[in-house]
Amino acid sequence: MKKTLALLTITLLLAACGQKLSGTYVNPTSDAKLIFESSDKLIYDTGMGKVEVSYKIDGKNLKLISPEGTQIFTLSDDGSIQAPMGLSFKKQ
């Protein structure tokens, strides 16, 4: 019983540590969207075109990784995502 309880506790703690993003985040002042497809892929829709990129969460940093380079967005405490050039995305 103690082993089962310890294993369950460890499993829950590990699950809580891994931050996941899902769904669609929109910018209220433009057509830009972030559409999270899986635990490591998203569609960045600028309103003029779409690109699929990989992403990784590192603390409060959301790193969008593409062949052209890496962009770093910030995960805010209110659940929004802050992008370069003042763009803000909120969950739809």
All structural domains of the chain with their residue ranges: 21-91
Structure confidence by residue, pLDDT tens digits, 72-83: 999 999 999 999
Tokens of 84: 């370069």
For tokens 């309880």, the residue is 5
CATH homologous superfamily of domain 21-91?
A: Uncharacterised protein family Atu4866 (2.40.128.290)
* Whole-number pLDDT of residue 18: 52
Q: What predicted TM-score, i.e. pTM, was given to this entire model?
A: 0.76
Q: Is 89 exposed, middle or buried (0-12, 13-18, 19+ CB in 10 A)?
A: buried
pLDDT for position 20: 84
Question: Could you read off the pLDDT of 17-29 as tens digits, one per residue?
Answer: 457 899 999 999 9
Q: Which of the residues in the chain have pLDDT under 70?
A: 1-18
